[in-house]
């Protein structure tokens, strides 16, 4: 039963447990409708798993555990990429607004949804298997947003779904009484898990061979063992920003949200204070009858605006306006101080500041106008000189052409006269 809609039929994939709090009905791009039911369920503590393990996430293999367990990477998007490209080519050929384009668009959306559902199912099963087998899981604190800047690996990284896997693992470990610890990923693939020496390897080197101790094993397994060793080690080797549970991460998110809310409230209060001061200024002016100060403030504002317009005109003509802008800022500061004195009721001080503001703005306006006029005169002079040069150049070219034509004509006539008549 939905509010303002009534009763509708739905297909339950599992029974609803606990007290229903919210219900969200969402239509997916594929045309399917889903109902998201949020319920409050009491915690059911179960048997807490024991043991700890290090997990190295990768692309060749999705995850390698420090005990040698390997979770293969299914690459769902890569597997559907050819079919998706074919559907998108078909979509690009359809006429916009037609029924065929809408049907093809839904087919593309259904394929994307299928890839997402398969990936989500795989991540749930993999995270559940790890959470049920181990009480403490050590994973690398990867900055996935920075890693996807490498455009050669971005598609494969996003197709793997590392971030979603770690999020699922966090809340499942918390439900079962375990924990997830994030460690610093620096050097986990280069350090030897046997002797601790650094062994440089390229990304294409998939086997770790230590020249110091002779250890040879898969590089992902070596990294998983290093992650486990760092997690068991002293706290200074762990990531500073590591969190042990989803709840702690959520607390951090809530704290940041509350900070943003407080900052927004401060800005709102500041704007309200400015509005109150603006309204109160008119009220004080009406009650006290001191309208001369307010009129002078308006005149000073107009002078500053005129000075600003003059500076803009001068800047458009290539005039250096650094000193003028500095003087205009001084005039604005004087106007602000006059406003403050006016609100405080000190009208004499307000008048003195307004006088200084008007003098500075008048000087700025006059200097900017003079510079603008001089710049215009200079540009007109340069334009006149250029026009004279162009005219002289045209005249020279014209007379040169006439001279060349005369020479050519004389040579051609002489050549004809020298020719003998042909005799049959």
pLDDT digits (tens, 9 = 90+) for 251-277: 444 555 566 677 777 777 767 667 776
Bridge-based pairing state of the strands 63-65 and 19-27: unpaired
Indicate if 330 belongs to the active site: no
Phi first, then psi, for residue 345 (nearest 5°) are: 90, 5
Average pLDDT, the chain: 79
Please identify, among 223, 244, 265, the residue that sits at the C-terminal boundary of a domain: 244
User: Does residue 23 form part of some domain?
Assistant: no
Instruction: Examine the domain organization and report whether 83 and 213 are in the same domain.
Output: yes
Nearest-CA neighbor of 246 among 156, 182, 155? 182
Task: Please indicate, yes or no, if residue 416 is contained in any of the structural domains.
Answer: no
Is 101 in the same domain as 226? Answer: yes
User: Would you say residue 366 lies in a domain?
Assistant: yes
The answer to whether residues 63 and 199 belong to one domain is yes
The pLDDT of residue 15 is 87
Tell me what pLDDT residue 332 has. Answer: 75
The CATH number given to whatever domain includes residue 216 is 3.30.420
- Which 3 state secondary structure label does DSSP give 40? strand
Task: Point out the least confidently predicted range of 73-87, 159-173, 351-365.
Answer: 351-365
The answer to whether position 43 is within a domain reads: no
Last residue of a domain, one of 244, 278, 304: 244
- 43 phi and psi angles, rounded to 5 deg: -65, 140
Identify the pLDDT of residue 296: 67
Residues 113, 234 within the same domain = yes
- Among 244, 279, 314, which residue terminates a domain? 244
**pLDDT value, residue 248:** 47
Rounded distance, CA 289 to CA 280, Å?
13
Confidence class for position 417, pLDDT limits 50, 70, 90: low
- 139 and 196 housed in the same domain: yes
Q: What is the DSSP letter of 179?
A: E
Q: Is 305 a member of any domain? A: yes
CA-CA distance, 218 to 224, in Å (whole number)?
A: 10
> What percent of the chain lies above the pLDDT cut of 90?
23
Shared domain for 228 and 303, answered yes or no, is no
Cα gap 366→328, rounded to integer Å:
12
In a domain, residue 10? The reply is no
358 has a pLDDT exceeding 80: no
Let me know if 56 is a catalytic residue.
yes
Residue 20 β-bridge partners: 39
pLDDT of 65 strictly over 90: yes
Rounded to an integer, the average pLDDT of 195-203 is 86
69 and 141 within one domain: yes
Q: Which domain holds residue 184?
A: 50-244
* 317 and 202, same domain (yes or no): no
pLDDT (0 to 100) of residue 238: 47
Same-domain pairing of 69 and 176: yes
The residue that leads in pLDDT, 375 or 120, is 120
Count of structural domains, the chain? 2
User: Of the given ranges (119-128, 173-182, 265-274), which has the lowest mean pLDDT?
Assistant: 265-274
The pLDDT of residue 104 is above 50: yes
- 63 or 291, which is more confident? 63
Specify which of 41-50, 256-265, 283-292 reaches the highest per-range mean pLDDT: 41-50
308 and 216 in a single domain? The answer is no
| Arithmetic mean of pLDDT, 54-77 | 92
| Length of the chain (residues) | 424
Over 60: is that where the pLDDT of 291 sits?
no
Rg (CA), the chain: 40
pLDDT tens by residue, 204-225: 888 888 888 888 888 999 999 9
Q: Are residues 318 and 385 in the same domain?
A: yes
Q: Is 236 a catalytic residue?
A: no
The Cα–Cα gap between 335 and 369 comes to 22
| Helix, strand or coil, per DSSP, at residue 44 | coil
Whether residue 71 sits in one domain with residue 161: yes
Q: Which of 78, 91, 74, 90 is closest to 126 using CA atoms? A: 74
272 in any annotated domain:
no
The band of 247, judged by pLDDT with boundaries at 50, 70 and 90, is very low
- The tokens for 220 are 């992902």
Catalytic site residue from 220, 296, 327, 367: 220
The whole-number pLDDT of residue 189 equals 87
The contacts of residue 216 (CB under 8 Å, 6+ apart) are 207, 208, 209, 210
* 342 pLDDT higher than 80: no
409 domain residue, yes or no: no
pTM of the model: 0.55
Residue 278, pLDDT score:
65
């Amino acid at each position: 039963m939905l509010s303002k809609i009534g009763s509708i039929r739905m297909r339950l994939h599992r029974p609803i447990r606990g007290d229903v709090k919210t219900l969200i009905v969402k239509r997916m791009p594929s045309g399917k409708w889903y109902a998201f039911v949020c319920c409050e369920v009491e915690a059911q503590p179960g048997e807490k798993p024991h043991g700890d393990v290090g997990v190295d996430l990768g692309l060749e293999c999705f995850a390698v555990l420090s005990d040698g367990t390997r979770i293969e990477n299914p690459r769902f998007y890569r597997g559907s990429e050819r079919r998706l490209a074919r559907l998108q080519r078909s979509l690009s050929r359809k006429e916009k607004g037609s029924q065929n384009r809408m049907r093809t668009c839904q087919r593309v959306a259904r394929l994307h949804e299928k890839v997402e559902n398969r990936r989500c199912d795989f991540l749930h099963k993999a995270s559940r298997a790890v959470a049920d087998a181990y009480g403490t899981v050590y994973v690398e604190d990867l900055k996935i947003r920075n890693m996807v800047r490498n455009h050669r690996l971005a598609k494969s990284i996003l197709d793997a779904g590392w971030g979603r896997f770690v999020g699922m693992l966090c809340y499942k470990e918390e439900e079962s009484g375990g924990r997830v610890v994030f460690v610093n990923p620096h050097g986990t693939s280069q350090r030897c898990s046997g002797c601790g020496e650094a062994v440089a390897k390229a990304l294409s080197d998939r086997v770790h061979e230590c020249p110091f101790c002779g250890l040879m094993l898969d590089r992902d397994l070596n990294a998983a063992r290093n992650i486990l060793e760092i997690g068991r080690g002293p706290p200074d080797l762990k990531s500073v920003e590591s969190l042990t549970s989803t709840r702690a991460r959520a607390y951090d998110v809530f704290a940041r949200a509350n900070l943003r809310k407080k900052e927004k409230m401060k800005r709102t209060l500041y704007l309200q204070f400015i509005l109150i001061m603006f309204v109160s200024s008119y009220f004080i002016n009406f009650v006290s009858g001191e309208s001369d100060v307010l009129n002078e403030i308006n005149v000073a504002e107009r002078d500053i605006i005129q000075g600003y317009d003059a500076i803009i005109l001068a800047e458009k003509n290539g005039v250096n306006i650094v000193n003028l802008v500095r003087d205009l800022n001084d005039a604005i500061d004087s106007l602000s101080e006059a406003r403050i004195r006016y609100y405080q009721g000190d009208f004499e001080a307000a008048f003195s500041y307004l006088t200084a503001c008007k003098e500075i703005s008048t000087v700025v306006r006059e200097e900017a106008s003079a510079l603008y006029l001089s710049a215009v005169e200079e540009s007109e002079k340069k334009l006149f000189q250029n026009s004279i040069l162009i005219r002289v150049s045209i005249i020279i070219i014209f007379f040169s052409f006439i001279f060349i034509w005369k020479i050519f004509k004389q040579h051609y006539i002489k050549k004809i006269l020298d020719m003998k008549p042909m005799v049959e």
